[in-house]
Structure 1
Amino acid sequence: MAQVYLSLGSNVNRAQHIRAALAALAAQFGELQVSRVFESEAVGFQGDNFYNLVVGLRTSLPVGQLALCLRGIEDANGRLRAGPKFSARTLDIDILTYDNLAGTVDGVKLPRGEIVKNAFVLQPLAEIAPQAVHPIEEKTFRQLWDEYDRASQKLWPVEFTWPEW
């Protein structure tokens, strides 16, 4: 079973789509590690604020099949794929890491570059996997968060309830 970390984000009916994604992930993969939910400003475009979090899970699915499964959850939540890369999202689920794989696997680039670029990915990842090591940077996620320029992006935790917590 591979240890996988996923980034979840939404800025359209945020709470509804994040709850639906968590329910779908729990139904598919069982027990989840779930970070706090953070709110952040849109990055790369003008838009409503996002809810973001990181989820850890274990799976025997290979990377390509996992990516298809996640795409299905996004689609079930009204994800539209036509339009600009940086735009509003009902739901975005990205594979951040899959065990310690590095490189392109089944069309998925691992680890995801946003880990070291975006506070809304790195902070919740460091929260649930502080001692896990970034496969390329060779530093723990806690070390990477400690070194991150926190003034570069606004991010704050929000009250969020999900029935499984």
Structure 2
Amino acid sequence: MITTYIGIGTNVEREKHIRAAFVELTSLGRNLALSPVYACESFGFDGSEFYNMVVRVDTDLNLFELSQVLKQIEIKWGRAADAAKFQDRTLDLDILLYGNEISQKKPLVPREDIFKYSFVTQPLYDLDPQLVIPNDGRTVEQILETMSDVDSLKKSIFNFSW
């Protein structure tokens, strides 16, 4: 089994889609762990506030299979197959890390969003602050310390329980 970290984002019917993502991800493996849910402004476009979180799961799927399954889950829950990057979305599922694997072709891992966006890095930190990012050598905590927008995140009042 490989431990993978999956970022979840939604700004359309947020509670419904965060719950749906969790239910769907339970079928991908075992030992699921959930970060808190964070609310943050949309980035790159003018849209509704997002909910973001990260799920850690141990899976037997290979990287390509996992990527395909996540894409199908997104489509099942209303995301257009040809959805643009910066727009409202029902569900966005991104593989952030896949064990210690490094991939320069899609899906790219580690995902660059870990280094760019606190709404990805903070929930990853909540799950495993001392996790070392492959091909970088820094821990999640060290990366988070370099981010200036962490204070703009707020834990959601939405209490996600399973």
After TM superposition, the score normalised by the length of structure 2 is 0.93
Report the CA distance shift for 1:149/1:162 in structure 2 as closer, same or farther (over 3 A).
Answer: closer
Structure 1 runs (4+) deviating above 6 angstroms are: none
Q: What pairs up with 1:86-125 in 2 under 5 angstroms?
A: 86-104=86-104, 107-125=106-124
1:19-39 superposed Cα distances (whole Å, 9 cap, x missing partner): 011011113323311000000
Report the CA distance shift for 1:83/1:75 in structure 2 as closer, same or farther (over 3 A).
Answer: closer
Provide the residue aligned with 1:143 in structure 2.
Answer: 142
SS of match in other structure, 1:112? coil
Counterpart of 2:125 in structure 1: which amino acid?
A
The CA distance in 1 between the partners of 2:81 and 2:48, in whole Å, is 18
1:90-131 superposed Cα distances (whole Å, 9 cap, x missing partner): 0000000101111235x3111100001001000000110111
Provide the residue aligned with 1:7 in structure 2.
Answer: 7
* 8 A Cα contact 2:40 2:154, kept in partner: yes
Provide the residue aligned with 1:17 in structure 2.
Answer: 17
The CA distance in 2 between the partners of 1:119 and 1:35, in whole Å, is 13
The CA distance in 1 between the partners of 2:22 and 2:126, in whole Å, is 18
After TM superposition, the score normalised by the length of structure 1 is 0.92
Q: What is the Cα deviation at residue 163 of structure 1?
A: 4.1
The CA distance in 2 between the partners of 1:28 and 1:136, in whole Å, is 26
* 8 A Cα contact 1:127 1:142, kept in partner: no
The CA distance in 2 between the partners of 1:34 and 1:83, in whole Å, is 26
Give the superposed CA RMSD: 1.5
Provide the residue aligned with 2:41 in structure 1.
Answer: 41
Which sections of structure 1, spanning at least 5 residues, go unmatched?
none
Q: What is the Cα deviation at residue 80 of structure 1?
A: 1.4
Aligned length: 162
